[in-house]
Amino acid sequence: MFETAELGRTISKADFKRTAPVLRQELLELQDTLHKNKDFPVILVFAGVDGGGKGETVSLLNAWMDPRWLITRAYDDPADGERERPEFWKYWRDLPARGRIGMFLSAWYSRPLLDRVRGRSDEAEFLKQLERIVGFERALAHDGALILKFWMHLSRDAQEHRLRNLENDPLTNARVSERDWEHWRMYDRFIGAAEQLVSRTNRGLAQWTIVEGTDPNYRAITVTSLVRDALIRRMDAKHGNGRDGKKPANGTAPLPDQKTDGYSAAKSITVLSGLDMSRQLEKQPYKNQLVELQARLHRLHLQAKAQNVSSVLVFEGPDAAGKGGAIRRINESLDARNYQVHGIAAPTEEELARHYLWRFWRRLPRDGHIAIFDRSWYGRVLVERIEGFASEDDWRRSYAEINDFEEQLIEHGTVLVKCWVHITRDEQLARFKLREKTPYKRWKLTEEDWRNRDKWSEYEAAVNDMVQYTSTSVAPWSLVEGNDKRYARVKVVSTFCERLAAALGDREG
């Protein structure tokens, strides 16, 4: 889940100096509009790894905006008055009024997370605490609050580097405590619990944004841009945009123009950017490896059949990425009686009349069988998002729904394999042209394929979000470099073998 926040995104000093003053003016104008209209409160929650920049970001927002209409709260050891009341009393006490912005550090997420990491609570208690948080945030959102949650992330090495730099600077060494180093030593446990926390509490009305915390310029521009954009969207929905020269509804204060997108270059670096698309296999090594892997997969799938272990394979990727070819190499290894391939197209009228997951629940395999999805429920956060078939609230809410759906599959004992088969834009164009020239492939190329190609960057951003919110430790995404079809097919079959062998406890396969 957090790999999308370890991509090395940065914003240069020059770009920061150019962007920051304009962005600061936008925030001040929006804050003034918010204060005058008093339509809703804003709640900003900052959590994440120690050294990730939570405090620095809150300080920057206090410097950039009017502090008279800001509330900043941090919660460490509870005072006597707090111990004498229910835990959430202090959070209710400190909520901002309509027209104000409240920023919360070490808030309602801190104790459940640390108790779980330190072994003071079991999973059942942890999940109970997270459900209470979901209920709390739902109540605030239904009352009109705009809730934005930022998880400030650092890799283990980056966190160590950050803590040592702070410790070695006389001006900042007091900010590093033994507790910070204790948390660093428990990094893997911390991240495991954090992944569950983000997944369980990532709701459309109170969504998390995972922010790469290494570069302070990127961190600052990212958070402030997202706050600005969310304020504009909410005010637009409340009063109309007020930016077309017309007076907004009800005589409310007008909204400022949205002047700049300060981090577009940095956010164009996605989880797909780090793939080595030059990877390839020569013909003979490919044949040798594929035969060996297919033989292994044949043995494993018969073993899974005997043990009543089902599998679900999900294939997503750009048009012409080679999903069908990879699926065929898997099918060649299987008994045709034990698997079913589901090609997912636009929903039917019957499917549109129900929740979008309904048609996938209906296609789940029996124990011992395999279901292969050529496109899947991830269409909700890909094509439906990009084409506007789902509202923003709908597709944002879907990340949590998908995680819950997949968790139920895994709890049942199903082996879940999710592959994003990726190709470059140039490779896609070459394959499109080949399809045009090949009679038996021409039917595959449609106007929709060309239209989707025009939205390449939007799809890359959507894929990055998809991986960020749904690649969990129990249901990770496998990103497959697909420019070379031979390499991609071997990687896909190998991935399925490894997952199946792990589930069966088969060390030899």
- Residues 111-131 have a mean pLDDT of 94
* Per-chain mean pLDDT for the chain: 89
Strands 370-374 and 415-422: unpaired
Output the pLDDT for position 421: 97
Contact 506, 297 (CB under 8 A): no
Residue 469 structure tokens: 């919110």
Question: Could you read off the pLDDT of 312-345 as tens digits, one per residue?
Answer: 999 999 989 999 999 999 999 999 999 999 999 9
- Residues 3-18 have a mean pLDDT of 89
- Three-point CA angle 486, 489, 491, nearest 5°: 110
For the chain, residues classed under CATH 3.40.50.300 are 2-267, 283-504
Task: Give 80-100 as a 3 state SS string.
Answer: HHHHCCCCCHHHHHCCCCCCC
CA distance 113 to 194: 7
Band of residue 177 on the pLDDT scale cut at 50, 70, 90? confident
Top-level CATH class of 283-504? Answer: alpha beta
Decide: helix, strand or coil at residue 40: coil
Record: fold of 2-267: Rossmann fold (3.40.50)
- Residues 238-260 have a mean pLDDT of 51
Question: Which ranges of 240-282 would DSSP assign to H, the alpha helix?
Answer: 264-267
Whether the predicted pLDDT of 13 surpasses 70: yes
Band of residue 442 on the pLDDT scale cut at 50, 70, 90? low
Nearest CA to 376 among 312, 467, 465? 312
Question: Could you read off the pLDDT of 21-30 as tens digits, one per residue?
Answer: 999 999 999 9
Whether the predicted pLDDT of 144 surpasses 60: yes
Query: Can you state the angle between helices 110-117 and 123-142, rounded to 10 degrees?
Result: 170
Q: What percentage of the chain reaches a pLDDT higher than 70? A: 92
503 secondary structure, DSSP code? H
Name the one residue in this structure whose structure tokens are 């929650």: 45
Whether the predicted pLDDT of 115 surpasses 90: yes
- The DSSP line for 328-352 is HHHHTTS-GGGEEEEE--SPPHHHH
154 secondary structure, DSSP code? -
**HSE of 127 in the Cβ direction (CA atoms, 13 Å)?**
4
Contact 67, 128 (CB under 8 A): no
* pTM (predicted TM-score): 0.80
CA dihedral angle for residue 463, residue 2, residue 394, residue 244, rounded to 10 degrees: -80
Nearest CA to 212 among 53, 388, 444? 53
Band of residue 507 on the pLDDT scale cut at 50, 70, 90? low
Output the pLDDT for position 106: 79
Output the pLDDT for position 274: 85
Question: Could you read off the pLDDT of 57-75 as tens digits, one per residue?
Answer: 999 999 999 999 999 999 8
Nearest CA to 370 among 322, 409, 403? 409
Strands 146-153 and 42-48: parallel
- Which has more pLDDT, 252 or 344? 344
Whether the predicted pLDDT of 251 surpasses 60: no
Band of residue 246 on the pLDDT scale cut at 50, 70, 90? very low
Output the pLDDT for position 80: 60
**Residues 6 or more apart in contact with residue 42 via CB below 8 angstroms:** 34, 96, 100, 101, 102, 145, 146, 148, 227, 231
Question: Could you read off the pLDDT of 451-491 as tens digits, one per residue?
Answer: 778 899 999 999 999 999 999 888 999 999 999 999 999 99
Question: Could you read off the pLDDT of 209-232 as tens digits, one per residue?
Answer: 999 999 999 999 999 999 999 999
